Amino acid sequence: MTMLAIDTIHESTDNARRIASDKLSDQALRMSIQQLGMLQPILVQPNGDGYTVVAGHRRLAAARALGWEEVPAVTLLTTKDNVHTVAMSAAENMVRAPMHPVDTWRAIATLKEDHDYSLQGAADALGVPMTLARRLYHLASMAPEVIDALAAESELPQASTLRTISMAPQDVQLKALTQARKKDHVDWWSVAQRCETTRIPASRAIFPIHQSECSVRFDEDLFAQADDIDRFSTTDVAGFLKAQRAALDAQARASKGRMTAMPWSRTQRLCDHLPKGWQATYDVRRVRWAKDDPRHVFATVIEEGFELGKVEYIVATPKKDRPTAVPSDIETEAVHERSPITKATYDRLAIMKRQEVVSRLTRVAASENAADMLRALLLCLSFENVALWDADRRYGAGPYRDLARKLVNDDGSPRYVTEAEACWLAAATIARVVKFEGGDATNTSGKQAEWLAAMIGAEMPRCDTADILKGVSKDKLIELARLYGIDETGKTSDIRARLVGNMPEWRPVDFGAAGPSGYHFQPEAEDEDASGSEMAEEAAS
């Protein structure tokens, strides 16, 4: 090997790499050479005007970009033809195998911990982009056995899967790995599911999280981008909810009678359990109120589900007194058959349906099936309680502005989200609005909610529970007892107790509704392969 002046080395027309490499790859190589030098000399062949590169074109270009005057080189003997040089150039570009990501992480960790490299310096030395180095380096939070199992994979699982595993305690990781290990592979999605813990993002807090008096400990997601508003989160659910409720009470006290903090209801949404005499509106919560404005704000801290820890605000107006009906002389008395199931129970059944759909949406989002989630989100736009805009401009981005912040930066530029993150955002959007019809339920999604349930494969939970049967009349309980061969004698409470848990197929309501009428899309035979744009035009028309 000798040192040759760069000015004497010329490009070869026989380079096997004709398609230019990407700029990031070239920059990574340049940074590595700058940090460690040129670890492998280039191969050259003498010609009448100096030397011709056989292998090492990118290394030579990097050295020139760094301002080097000479490079290490190995000189090959002159041949009569270019057969050998072409083979060498192709082999130099093709035979090298990329290093496994786990080995890359181990190399970064060794440089950083044993040789006092900074993370940036270690990334530059190895020619690894800083974003990838940051992600790989923090695999150090994983248990060694998990790292060994990852090293046995041909490629790493998705970033979201790694993130979930790495944020769990190592004993939880090991237990999850053991349970998800198959005969010949590891189900990494199952590992992540078992490692997943309930976390509340700091962006939902209405209390200051960075002040010294904050007792809630927040962890930083080291996989998240620096500008991600949800990169801080906590597993201290009880502490977060306590601090959130205290902050909400403080807001109510400071509102001068304009706001009331309500307790959380697990059976009803806030808009359905407002105090008597108030009705919910879709008005936006205002900062300042006119003295004679009759509206009032009710708020509660959500204690379960997708929006755990978030404060829900509802603007309400006083209900108007209903006029007293005047009986007509010609009105005939109508006999109404009383329903065997109370309205409150039907409302409870509607809530059960919603909980099942939200749970199913969670599974669809976790599976990262973007196609299914997109279909569900498109169907959500047809919900009867979804209005994108009206004449008063009260609808639109307002209720979903926090979701928009995950998709758009403060300067208006788009924010990149992964396919998995997009699935979760879509699921959260649908979960906010889906609401099934019940006894006294208002502002429901209509039959469209039933279509959504069928689309995502939701199944009605068992209804032979004590709380549901409590709202069933005695006559209906006796009828059910006869149907299922259960003793029908005795007090109502006795019959009910015997039915609880013994009618697995009984469903007073179930998912399902007739499809939309008035629209029958039947493509002609020759249009069966119509393009997506044609389908979009058909839907728009």
The answer to the question of residue 303 being in a domain is yes
Q: Does 280 share its domain with 375? A: no
- pTM across the whole model: 0.40
Q: What is the dihedral of CA 401, 404, 410, 414, to 10 degrees?
A: -160
What's the pLDDT at 94? Answer: 45
What's the pLDDT at 184? Answer: 78
Reply yes or no on whether the pLDDT at 336 is more than 60.
no
Mean per-residue pLDDT of the chain: 77
The residue-averaged pLDDT of 87-113 equals 66
Work out the percent of the chain whose per-residue pLDDT is above 90: 12
Q: Which of 94, 112, 137 is at the close of a domain? A: 94
Judged by DSSP in three states, 317 sits in strand
Q: Does 290 share its domain with 352? A: no
Contacts of 342 (CB under 8 A, 6+ apart): 439, 471
Helices (H), 215-328: 237-254
* Both structure tokens of 308: 């755990």
Q: Does 6 share its domain with 90? A: yes
The residue-averaged pLDDT of 318-347 equals 61
Cβ–Cβ < 8 Å for 55, 92: yes
The answer to the question of residue 76 being in a domain is yes
> pLDDT digits over 340-386, tens only?
888 888 888 888 888 888 888 888 887 777 888 888 888 888 888 77
What's the pLDDT at 373? Answer: 84
Q: What are the residues facing 313 on neighbouring strands?
A: 299
Q: Does 374 share its domain with 445? A: yes
Q: Does 308 share its domain with 380? A: no
Q: Does 301 share its domain with 213? A: yes
Tell me the HSE value of 515 on the side-chain side, using a 13 A CA sphere: 6
What's the pLDDT at 520? Answer: 40
CATH number at residue 36: 3.90.1530.10
Q: Does 245 share its domain with 288? A: yes
Q: What are the residues facing 74 on neighbouring strands?
A: 43
The answer to the question of residue 106 being in a domain is no
> How many domains, the chain?
3
Reply yes or no on whether the pLDDT at 261 is more than 90.
yes
Give the pLDDT band (50/70/90) at residue 328. Answer: very low
Q: How many CB atoms lie within 10 A of CB 406?
A: 17
The answer to the question of residue 175 being in a domain is no
Query: Which of the pair, 452 or 535, is modelled with greater confidence?
Result: 452
Q: Which of 36, 65, 94 is at the close of a domain? A: 94
Alpha-carbon distances of 28 from 38, 91, 111, 416, rounded to whole Å: 13, 21, 17, 23
Q: Which of 441, 460, 479 is at the close of a domain? A: 460
What's the pLDDT at 321? Answer: 58
Reply yes or no on whether the pLDDT at 77 is more than 70.
no
Tell me the HSE value of 55 on the side-chain side, using a 13 A CA sphere: 19
The residue-averaged pLDDT of 171-196 equals 85
Name the one residue in this structure whose structure tokens are 């597993």.
235
Query: Which of the pair, 229 or 534, is modelled with greater confidence?
Result: 229
* Both structure tokens of 194: 């078992």
The answer to the question of residue 465 being in a domain is no
The answer to the question of residue 197 being in a domain is no
What's the pLDDT at 329? Answer: 41
Tell whether the torsion through CA atoms of 221, 433, 309 and 289 is positive or negative. positive
Q: In whole angstroms, what is the distance from residue 108 CA to residue 115 CA? A: 10
The answer to the question of residue 521 being in a domain is no
Q: In whole angstroms, what is the distance from residue 102 CA to residue 156 CA? A: 8
Q: How many CB atoms lie within 10 A of CB 194?
A: 19
Reply yes or no on whether the pLDDT at 159 is more than 80.
no
Q: Does 292 share its domain with 394? A: no
Query: Which of the pair, 118 or 522, is modelled with greater confidence?
Result: 118
Give the pLDDT band (50/70/90) at residue 2. Answer: confident
The identity of residue 283, as a single letter, is D
* Both structure tokens of 48: 């009448």
What's the pLDDT at 84? Answer: 54
> pLDDT digits over 271-289, tens only?
888 888 898 887 777 777 7
What's the pLDDT at 252? Answer: 93
The identity of residue 139, as a single letter, is L
Q: In whole angstroms, what is the distance from residue 196 CA to residue 176 CA? A: 10
What's the pLDDT at 333? Answer: 40
Query: Which of the pair, 404 or 422, is modelled with greater confidence?
Result: 422
Give the pLDDT band (50/70/90) at residue 128. Answer: confident
The answer to the question of residue 387 being in a domain is yes
Give the pLDDT band (50/70/90) at residue 297. Answer: very high
Reply yes or no on whether the pLDDT at 459 is more than 70.
yes
Domain of 20 in residue numbering reads as: 2-94
Reply yes or no on whether the pLDDT at 183 is more than 90.
no
